[in-house]
């Protein structure tokens, strides 16, 4: 086998100069950066094939004729990186709307913000089961489950009623729609991208309201007890699939509270697709607006603008060493909120530098989000859960302090268990498979089948992922 430099030159020979991004290129940093700074392996070259034929040739050569380390980057803010070759799908931007069947088909190089705009223009009045911010890439989110503001009505993006088909490039370079190979489509519904390279998606879209009441309601630390009590009561009584709620423990120096010293506080992000009148009523979020100390930043916007509400978080893209975990929980209780707050404040007390890169996010959802299929589901790779809500944690610190890194990593690995003692390894959501997560328990009854499919489609584990042996 030729040496690494010669292999890379042969990869480059398969592409045009416009499809090759070198470390000296102006757009190399943007094309190669990862959300977590420590995940960036500084690839020797980033390649961006512009058509399926070139992508197929490139993948076939990399997988079967080289020893190069390579990975696939869809778009957005994932952590895909490689030492040698990063294959970017950023050029795959096709989009079409089938009004008769209420479906959209789109390339894997989009971010969800781009899809929002195209749906708004070409399929007005409809919405997809998308991510809840603009900068997430469609690829990584869909095939790892895919939670959406619409999930409380329609389930996850990867569920069969939403993800209808995917176009893939297999490691031999061939291109197929996965519905021609049902086991492959099954694996890609929640099992991640370790089986083939997804080039396009076909998804259901739904008619959806155009005016949504949403926005942050921010609270000072002295309101935490009341926020915990009232949020838990709302989560218990609310069964409306058009209402959702995110509760954050956050650094109040960010966003509208800039130029202050780090000061932990809480915020509710309210979401009511029944509109502003309902959102401000007793049946909506009046209770949250009436809590003493509340700072009301809510308004009425369309779904695209809801997602754009979180664009300020892009400032963290590639700026910190970060770790994340997402686990499902059966209820949003007062005790859970209080323990989450204590975990967050405890980290601040151990290392104040962690405040700006650390967060707690409790996502209140309705049962269809995780329970649109029977449990344990054998219809999709991820068997789903009997839980209803989601607890998401993140820790982060600017690079350069190994002691802080170690604390951030340990806090993330132990955090779900400290906040909810009944938590088990099988509660993790499939898009948070860090090395401290037991993937075998996450995929449960479907694990053996996924391992067998990995051997069939990627026997040398060239694409990585949890199922390689």
Q: Which DSSP string do the residues of 83-136 spell out, in sequence order?
A: SSEEEE-TT---EEEETTTTEEEEETT-BHHHHHHHHHHHSTTEEES--SSSSS
Per 3-state DSSP, the chain is made up of helix, strand and coil in percentages (nearest 5) of 35, 25, 40
Q: Which of 254, 193, 260, 265 is nearest to 454 (CA)?
A: 193
Q: Which of 27, 142, 143 is nearest to 88 (CA)?
A: 27
Distance from chain centroid for Cα 363: 13
Between CA 260 and CA 65 the distance in angstroms is 55
Q: What's the angle, vertex CA 416, arms to CA 391 and CA 252, rounded to 5? A: 60
pLDDT in tens, the chain (469 residues): 569 999 999 999 999 999 999 999 999 999 999 999 999 999 999 999 999 999 999 999 999 999 999 999 988 889 999 999 999 999 999 999 999 999 999 999 999 999 999 999 999 999 999 999 999 999 889 999 999 999 999 999 999 999 999 999 999 999 999 999 999 999 999 999 999 999 999 999 999 999 999 999 999 999 999 999 999 999 999 999 999 999 999 776 554 334 456 678 899 999 999 999 999 999 999 999 999 999 999 999 999 999 999 998 888 899 999 999 999 999 999 999 999 999 999 998 999 888 778 899 999 999 999 999 999 999 999 999 999 999 999 999 999 999 999 999 999 999 999 999 888 888 999 987 889 999 999 999 999 999 999 999 999 999 999 998 6
Domains of the chain plus CATH, in order, are 4-88 (3.30.43.10), 95-208 (3.30.465.10), 212-440 (3.40.462.20)
Between CA 78 and CA 308 the distance in angstroms is 18
Q: Which of 108, 115, 185, 164 is nearest to 140 (CA)?
A: 108
Distance from chain centroid for Cα 118: 20
Pairing relationship of beta strands 212-219 and 295-296 according to DSSP bridges: antiparallel
Q: Which of 147, 110, 152, 105 is nearest to 130 (CA)?
A: 147
Between CA 212 and CA 272 the distance in angstroms is 6
């Amino acid at each position: 086998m030729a040496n690494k430099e010669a292999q890379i030159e042969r990869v480059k020979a398969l592409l045009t100069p416009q499809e090759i991004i070198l470390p000296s290129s102006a757009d190399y940093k943007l094309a190669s950066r990862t959300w977590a700074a420590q995940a960036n392996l500084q690839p020797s070259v980033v390649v961006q094939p512009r058509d399926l034929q070139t992508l197929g040739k490139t993948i076939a050569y990399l997988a079967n004729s080289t020893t190069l380390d390579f990975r696939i980057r869809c778009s957005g803010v994932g952590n895909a990186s490689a030492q040698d070759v990063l294959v970017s799908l950023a050029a795959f931007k096709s989009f079409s709307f089938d009004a008769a069947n209420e479906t959209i088909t789109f390339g894997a190089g989009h971010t969800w913000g781009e899809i929002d705009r195209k749906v708004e223009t070409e399929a007005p009045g409809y919405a997809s089961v998308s991510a809840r911010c603009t900068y997430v890439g469609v690829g990584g989110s869909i095939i790892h489950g895919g939670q959406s503001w619409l999930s409380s009505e329609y389930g996850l993006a990867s569920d069969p009623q939403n993800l209808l088909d995917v176009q893939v490039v297999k490691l031999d370079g061939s291109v197929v729609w996965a519905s021609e190979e049902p086991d492959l489509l099954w694996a890609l519904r929640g099992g991640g991208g370790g089986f083939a390279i997804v080039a396009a998606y076909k998804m259901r879209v739904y008619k959806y309201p155009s005016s949504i009441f949403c926005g942050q309601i921010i609270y000072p630390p002295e309101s935490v007890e009341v926020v915990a009590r009232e949020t838990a009561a709302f989560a218990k009584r609310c069964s409306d699939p058009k209402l959702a709620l995110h509760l954050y423990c956050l650094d109040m120096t960010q966003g509208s509270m800039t130029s202050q010293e780090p000061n932990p506080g809480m915020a509710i992000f309210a979401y009511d697709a029944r509109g502003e009148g309902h959102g401000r009523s007793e049946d909506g979020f009046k209770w949250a607006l009436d809590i003493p100390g509340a700072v009301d930043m809510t308004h009425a916007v369309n779904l695209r603008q809801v997602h754009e509400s979180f664009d300020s978080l892009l400032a963290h893209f590639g700026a910190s060493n970060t770790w994340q975990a997402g686990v499902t929980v059966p209820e949003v209780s007062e005790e859970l909120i209080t323990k989450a707050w204590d975990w967050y404040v405890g980290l601040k007390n151990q290392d104040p530098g962690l405040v700006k890169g650390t967060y707690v996010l409790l996502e209140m959802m309705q049962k269809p989000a995780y329970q649109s299929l029977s449990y344990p589901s054998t219809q999709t790779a991820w068997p789903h859960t009997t839980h209803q809500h989601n607890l998401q944690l993140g820790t982060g610190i600017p690079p350069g302090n190994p002691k802080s890194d170690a604390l951030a990593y340990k806090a993330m690995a132990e955090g779900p268990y400290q906040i909810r003692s009944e938590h088990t390894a099988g509660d993790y959501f499939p898009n948070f498979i860090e090395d401290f997560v037991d993937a075998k328990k996450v995929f449960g009854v479907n694990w053996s089948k996924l391992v067998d499919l990995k051997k069939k489609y990627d026997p040398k584990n060239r694409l990585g992922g949890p199922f390689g042996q």
